[in-house]
Amino acid sequence: MKLTTTLAALFTLTLLQANAQHRDSPDQVQTNKGNLSIQPIQHGTLVLNWDNKTIYVDPTGGAEAFTGIAKPGMILITDIHGDHLNQETLDALETDGTVMVVPQAVADQLPDKYKGQLKVIGNGESTTLLEIPITAVPMYNLPESEESRHTKGRGNGYILNMGGKNIYLSGDTEGTPEMRGLQNIDVAFVSMNLPYTMDEFQAADAVLDFKPKIVYPYHYRGQNGLTDVQTFKNQVDMQNDAIEVRLKNWYPEK
């Protein structure tokens, strides 16, 4: 019996290690209060860890996608689509005591068991949670239309201030005036996947307008496969080499 238990434990540990090995290693960004760790998970899902606080962004992939990562103190959800609001993953995660920052459209779709954990904010509104100032930024398709995949006001991009660094999470958006008008962004995560958001050239054009210090292309799987993020990087590098483009693997093989 003891041997069986030991073998089962070893098998579980091996699986957990294998899941973790599929991920890219986390990046580090220095802040005025220690390093910010940035862990890509998949597509539009990532984990931020700073000041002993762990934040999940649009968690998908089930609990196994977060193997070896601390439980979230906060979850940010940008929109109602399944690659952002993934009920199965939320139910599988340990979220007791976790605050969830969401737009109203997401809150409307979450079951009652989560209602006490929600902080609902709309475009342009701000809050402070876990000592982190958070501002919701509009994310939507252009031209604006009630028939578009992402209508203005439904979903949120987010800006988080962590140790003096402004972190921008675009969510599903095109290069809107609100994105282009952003200032003092230290780290940006920018989506680029047709027909849902932008192509690599549109995304580069928008990034060159608001000039983040570091930019990660993420959420770049579209109807015809993966967007050419190397072309995105080349476009940005040629026109403003002060912007650091970081390419990570957001689609790890299982």
Strand intervals (E) in 142-206: 155-162, 165-169, 187-191
In a domain, 29, yes or no: yes
d(CA 237, CA 95): 40
The tens-digit pLDDT sequence of the chain (254 residues) is 444 444 333 333 333 344 455 788 999 999 999 999 999 999 999 999 999 999 999 999 999 999 999 999 999 999 999 999 999 999 999 999 999 999 999 999 999 999 999 999 999 999 999 999 999 999 999 988 777 789 999 999 999 999 999 999 999 999 999 999 999 999 999 999 999 999 999 999 999 999 999 999 999 999 989 999 999 999 999 999 999 999 999 998 75
Question: Looking at residue 151, what is its pLDDT?
Answer: 95
What's at 173, amino acid-wise? T
State the pairing for strand pair 74-76/53-57. parallel
Tokens (6 digits) for 205: 């054009």
Three-class SS state of 33: coil
In a domain, 8, yes or no: no
Q: Which domain holds residue 107?
A: 23-245
In a domain, 11, yes or no: no
State the pairing for strand pair 132-139/45-50. unpaired
CATH code of the domain covering residue 79: 3.60.15.10
Question: Looking at residue 147, what is its pLDDT?
Answer: 74
In a domain, 251, yes or no: no
In a domain, 157, yes or no: yes
Question: Looking at residue 115, what is its pLDDT?
Answer: 95
Number of domains in the chain: 1
Question: Looking at residue 20, what is its pLDDT?
Answer: 59
- Cβ–Cβ < 8 Å for 104, 125: no
Three-class SS state of 138: strand
In a domain, 221, yes or no: yes
In a domain, 5, yes or no: no
In a domain, 10, yes or no: no
Q: Interior CA angle at 36 toward 193 and 29, to 5°?
A: 75
What's at 235, amino acid-wise? Q
Question: Looking at residue 143, what is its pLDDT?
Answer: 82
Looking at the DSSP bridge assignments, the partners of residue 223 are none
State the pairing for strand pair 225-226/187-191. unpaired
